[in-house]
Structure 1
């Protein structure tokens, strides 16, 4: 699956795809939000959680950029 196919999925299907095909990379906490990074094929998926309420508040996919920079220390060791 490529990033374009992923992006046209419904929100529920995106979460299902991440849980079945995604490879966990790392979690970063900033204030009330946890950011969880997964790798799928040749792109990244970040799931955002409200840590206080333990609820998913967003999902995004990308190949590079500001969101990926948040994990730069982690990715150097991979």
Structure 2
């Protein structure tokens, strides 16, 4: 799957790909939100969930830019 194909998915399908078909790399909790980093094929995905309910707030896929810089130290 490419980054473009992932971004074209519905929210429900994105959640399926993230939580069932991607490799979990890291999680951190900040201000009541869990930020999960996942790897899928040639890109990364950040899933932001509410800590208390684990309901997904946002899913962002990326292969470069500021988000990758945020996680570079963790991936070494």
Shift of 1:42: 0.5
Query: Which string of whole-angstrom CA distances, capped at 9 and with x for unpartnered residues, describes residues 26-72 of structure 1?
Result: 00221111100000000001110111333211101000222222222
Q: Is 1:64–2:64 an aligned residue pair? A: yes
CA RMSD of aligned residues (A): 1.2
Give secondary structure in 2 for the equivalent of 1:70: helix
Q: Which deviates further from its counterpart, 37-46 or 24-33?
A: 24-33
Using structure 2 for the length normalisation, give the TM-score: 0.89
Q: Which deviates further from its counterpart, 3-12 or 63-72?
A: 63-72
Residue aligning to 2:50: 50
d(CA) in 2 for partners of 1:21, 1:53: 22
Residue aligning to 2:15: 15
Give secondary structure in 1 for the equivalent of 2:64: coil
Instruction: Structure 2: state its 5+ residue gaps.
Output: none
Instruction: Structure 1: state its 5+ residue gaps.
Output: none
